[in-house]
Amino acid sequence: MLEATKAGVFSRSYDIAVDGRRVASWSGRFWRNGGDITLGGQAYRVEATTFTNRFTMTDAAGRTVATAEKAGRKHWTVVADGRPHRFRRTSIWGNRQDLLVGDQAVGSIRRTSMWSGRVEAELPTLSLPAQIFVVGVMITTWDNQAAAASG
């Protein structure tokens, strides 16, 4: 189980742990979508387009590691580890996204508390860098949705 915990109440930074052991960090950007991931001493950058919900994760050399298309919509896709991974939002009112193989849910990501910003993910078909990318993408998506709702 991967867990992301907000560094502070008004922070855009998260500590990411796997089975209780801190392995990475996510630092969201304040004025733009996307953020930065630090994992095992490696730096990754996540850039986003505003209107298409497309996210791209690159390594320090500028190589694309993962992409997400239409993130947070009813059906969306992450391409990582050389293949596509499909996600489905389970409810228009909820914050759970299921990872699918065929039509079967094999994992999920969800925000357990909007106030604390805590996120839990079980994404067994993805590598650890790709899992952290999905967490960062969804944190950004949920934060944007909350900002739009508060108007």
Note the pLDDT tens digit of each residue in 111-138: 987 666 799 999 999 999 999 999 999 9
pLDDT at 151: 60
Residues of the chain with pLDDT > 70: what percent? 91
**Per-residue pLDDT tens for 66-120?**
999 998 889 999 999 999 999 999 988 778 999 999 999 999 999 987 666 799 9
**Interatomic CA distance for residues 52 and 77, integer angstroms:** 13
Range 9-13 average pLDDT: 75
Residue type, 112: T
pLDDT at 143: 80
pLDDT at 146: 73
**Interatomic CA distance for residues 118 and 111, integer angstroms:** 6
- Number of other CB atoms surrounding residue 5 within 10 Å: 15
Instruction: Say if strands 104-111 and 21-28 run parallel, antiparallel, or are unpaired.
Output: unpaired
**Interatomic CA distance for residues 37 and 68, integer angstroms:** 15
Which domains can be identified in the chain, with CATH numbers? 2-150 (3.20.90.10)
pLDDT at 115: 66
The lowest-confidence range among 2-6, 37-41, 89-93 is: 89-93
Range 30-56 average pLDDT: 87
Contact 65, 59 (CB under 8 A): yes
